[in-house]
Structure 1
């Protein structure tokens, strides 16, 4: 038990370490919070707690992204208010209609959480609706409730306005350059560490380099993906960023993770083989450094083992990056810059086929059932203070049991820190002695800094959001200092109620293990890749082919990032087979990266209109058809855990391997397919 507590304390401490851009982002949130507080107190706007919390939800990748996020949030809020009014007016405020509306709205929100590319808007809509419809359960006059609901729009509008203004003054101006710098820092750290291993440096020499890699790994890919999303949303010049930047960032983050694990478990080495491999890894990282253009083409070492070592996993992650198509300044003059970053305007709002997916419907039903049960319970016992149970369901409801357990644990921890320690502590020890707005600003600024800094981490960022939410809920009951301890108690009980209900529904009634969700996501990726390979059979116009290919490319890029995120929560699964699940999750991530490299080697050659002959050449078309069929078989094998069917027919005629025009494309296709086949074969034998 002591070892477990020590391990968690060490991980939390590591997650709180400074990372590039963390301080500036935290200070911007603090400034926006203080400005919002001053305006809300001066204008005496209700729902101050929700307004201040929304500052943490606004994207701050760039001024334009903040503005877009703010507009979307206000639209979702306005729709929530309109929906609540419609329910009350059309049903004459019938109690049963309110209960049914909670069930229906949370079901629809659950569908769009999984089926749309802006899932946060769906959860915001459901969260605000449940907050507003609960007001009609009280004996408050209708005109007062209407005014209060409209005030909520003003409060959140004011909060997001302050947040956007701060971002326009202090936000990132050159995201492409900053993203290049983020990539350079990581490759340089990897090169330094593995160079030290290569020359047999002492543990004292290696330790600082390993710590640096560990800190960068702890930062994860969030900051880099945010910068990428800024480029996408604003359709900015991508500069010298390589093609397939989104998936390269996920690959780099995975490489940092396994390299950090290797560094933490290998203080030093005198093994000649490890030194040789470390030297080769250092050379590759130096070649991949974004400041070196074009990159030197080298072969990486790939070892497919059933029980790979950490160094094997480093080689595998690095091989996925090296296997991506090479992009140089010469290529950039030919290839469309959209190969680097796909503008968001080309990404559909709804994910094709997701609304009708059985997994989406089941998830929405589970979410709706939990929210409805909590809503009925707190109204049946006439205890409005535990209404946080409904919001807990909407905020923590995710699609796998591991992810749900993680969010629930983090929400409980964040609520204990923010609500009980900070909120209750301020109520008892600080508010009775505070008699000016200055002292309140200092308190809010301090708590906002702690919450924002915590929320900027990778593993425990959700705790930071819940610290802010719980503190604001407890500390801002009105425009005067709270004098009762009951609100903190009630809200914590509401969270515990949601924990119990969701544990029953998600973990006992309809359980979905995280590894199972990862297998389904990988299978979906593989099917989309096979759809891409068959695309030109149905789309004869190149413009339509590009349009459909871009949709598939966006979905595959997001899927591989999602699979990697799911892999981080497998440790929150319970049971004796957890270690086996963790090992399987690593294999799924490796397989996903391998399949992504296969996809991009196809995509880079087939995307440009100048390479139209790659699409129409009969032998290449037949090769892609065979690849598509076999990838579909792989998808079935991944889900059903069955061996791959034996095949003896080659996927392409040997004469094309050395063809002056098509040889490189064919050789890459065969190599990436064979690697994927081995990865899927190994995975089909796991739990």
Structure 2
């Protein structure tokens, strides 16, 4: 990925990105304010939990906050038992830390608890290793209180503040549909490479987030079933419309003004929170196959099918199907545990309390394949250095001039907004935003109120970098898992999704299958990016990677062409070639 591409992703004004970032920053600031009032120690942990778990809509946010508060009861019982068991037994603490680390890393790899599993592991393990820092007589009470507050404060803020400032899931859904229509217009108008890249990124997102909005909107019991069914159809149709726009650009078909005007009117209605019930098909030249297919799609844009549309079968159960048969899950847990225990023993041997952040970091940065580790290592280091530099600069240039908590909270809000802006961007850069927040919170949130302790900033940044290094060393030295091994699997999933799209018999079914193809393409492209980042000895040569890249590009074009449904356009030959490459 080039620097120009990275910069475009950093400054990409994606719909809703700024508002989402502001809400995250407001939530982190509120958590810090509550923590200052209640004298919560190590406010970096609850602030970090908020940065990670804050959701876009009010229903999901409230559910996540409620789940956090329910987990508190279980964690309190767990921490109480563990503290009583390990009190004044250093070896017992080490054994329990190892067992807990293995358990939480395994759950993070083999179950649907990811990434919450890592946060729970971080909090429980941190609570255990911090017991030496308080008087023995108070240790159990303080351990329970701190564990409670680490989750109770973010959970309460997510419920109360989230209901006040977050949009409803239906509003978020209509805005996302409008965003795809606006992107369709931009693509048909500008046709340049940056616009095509933005359109491709939006296409690869598929409909998963929009279907989640539909589900959450249903829980509100405010909207009728017909409205939700119409919006579900519109979600699929918006992806199909954008896909056909890409096909039109590739075929160099010029969009007539009537089509652009219709798309613009529809987008305006969705942006207002409503949806168009009656859409007239705009006139389009018959020789423009992609645009004609798009125009034919518009009259039924919000018309749900009379019979239930086929849905992709989701995986049921808490654990993944291969949770207890795939050795990679156990290996992942072992490597994660080794990183945590190495950090723990180094922390104890050096007797350097300030670098406890390396243990926290080990839980946060673990990734399954070497390609992901290498691809995100730069994001980790850059994010940590930026966040640490901001924290140190704040200690030197800002903290001495703060006279009350207002200025301190403004500082927290501004830096949280910057971190949240990066975090809410494309997945290729979002990790850096998380690391910025991690480094800043751990550097500047010590004790109560503004800190001027440079030693703390230095120690915690050193801890973050050590944690990154230890995790990277463990995950790339023992059982290094290659992303390249999964490329064929992803290509076969794409081929299967394309076959299902081709066999569709109705427009609605074709749109659903096309959205599934986009989701599969997203996973395939990301896996290929990770494979390309790996050392040469772990992957194929550049020519084979180029073959995979060409297969993914042609699969994307195949999905667009299958929406035209007027001839096969040599589809058989292209699908056979994709199957051959996947094998």
Whole-Å Cα distance in 2 between the matches of residues 579 and 75 of structure 1? 50
What does residue 328 of structure 2 align with?
Answer: 359
Structure 2 unaligned regions, length at least 5: 267-278, 501-512
Deviation at 1:471, TM superposition (A): 1.0
Q: How does 1:59-98 map to 2 (within 5 A)?
A: 59-76=54-71, 78-91=73-86, 94-98=89-93
Deviation at 1:278, TM superposition (A): 1.8
What does residue 380 of structure 1 align with?
Answer: 349
User: What's the CA shift string for 1:145-200, capped at 9, x where partnerless?
Assistant: 53244234224322332233333233233233223212212222222234xxxxxx
Distance 1:587 1:45, change over 3 A: same
The alignment partner of 2:40 has SS state of coil
Q: 1:332 aligns with which of 284, 288, 304?
A: 304
What does residue 609 of structure 1 align with?
Answer: none
Find out whether 1:488 has 2:449 as its counterpart: no
Find out whether 1:435 has 2:403 as its counterpart: yes
Whole-Å Cα distance in 2 between the matches of residues 122 and 491 of structure 1? 23
What does residue 456 of structure 1 align with?
Answer: 424
Q: 1:447 aligns with which of 415, 422, 428?
A: 415
Tell me if the contact between 1:422 and 1:471 (Cα under 8 Å) persists in the aligned partners.
yes
Find out whether 1:680 has 2:565 as its counterpart: no
Deviation at 1:581, TM superposition (A): 6.5
Distance 1:373 1:27, change over 3 A: same
Whole-Å Cα distance in 1 between the matches of residues 207 and 496 of structure 2? 28
Whole-Å Cα distance in 2 between the matches of residues 381 and 677 of structure 1? 60
Q: What is the root-mean-square deviation of aligned Cα atoms in Å?
A: 4.6
- Bigger shift: 473-482 or 220-229? 220-229
What does residue 534 of structure 1 align with?
Answer: none
Tell me if the contact between 2:361 and 2:467 (Cα under 8 Å) persists in the aligned partners.
yes
Whole-Å Cα distance in 1 between the matches of residues 463 and 149 of structure 2? 27
User: What's the CA shift string for 1:621-650, capped at 9, x where partnerless?
Assistant: xxxxxxxxxxxxxxxxxxxxxxxxxxxxxx
Distance 1:575 1:276, change over 3 A: closer
The alignment partner of 2:325 has SS state of coil
Whole-Å Cα distance in 1 between the matches of residues 256 and 6 of structure 2? 27
Deviation at 1:134, TM superposition (A): 0.9
Deviation at 1:475, TM superposition (A): 0.8
User: What's the CA shift string for 1:51-82, capped at 9, x where partnerless?
Assistant: 22222123422100111222333444554443
Find out whether 1:226 has 2:209 as its counterpart: yes
Q: 1:99 aligns with which of 89, 94, 100?
A: 94
The alignment partner of 1:278 has SS state of coil
Q: 1:117 aligns with which of 112, 126, 135?
A: 112
Deviation at 1:679, TM superposition (A): 0.3
| TM-score, normalised relative to structure 1 | 0.66
Distance 1:390 1:470, change over 3 A: same
Whole-Å Cα distance in 2 between the matches of residues 57 and 505 of structure 1? 24
What does residue 279 of structure 1 align with?
Answer: 253
What does residue 165 of structure 2 align with?
Answer: 170
Whole-Å Cα distance in 1 between the matches of residues 254 and 559 of structure 2? 23
Tell me if the contact between 2:340 and 2:359 (Cα under 8 Å) persists in the aligned partners.
yes
Tell me if the contact between 2:384 and 2:436 (Cα under 8 Å) persists in the aligned partners.
yes
**Which fold has the larger relative contact order, with Cα–Cα distance below 8 Å and residues 6 or more apart in sequence?**
2
The alignment partner of 1:188 has SS state of helix
Whole-Å Cα distance in 2 between the matches of residues 281 and 438 of structure 1? 53
Q: How many residues align?
A: 540
Structure 1 unaligned regions, length at least 5: 195-208, 263-273, 302-314, 532-551, 602-663
Whole-Å Cα distance in 2 between the matches of residues 594 and 210 of structure 1? 16
| TM-score, normalised relative to structure 2 | 0.77
Deviation at 1:18, TM superposition (A): 1.9
Whole-Å Cα distance in 2 between the matches of residues 132 and 186 of structure 1? 47
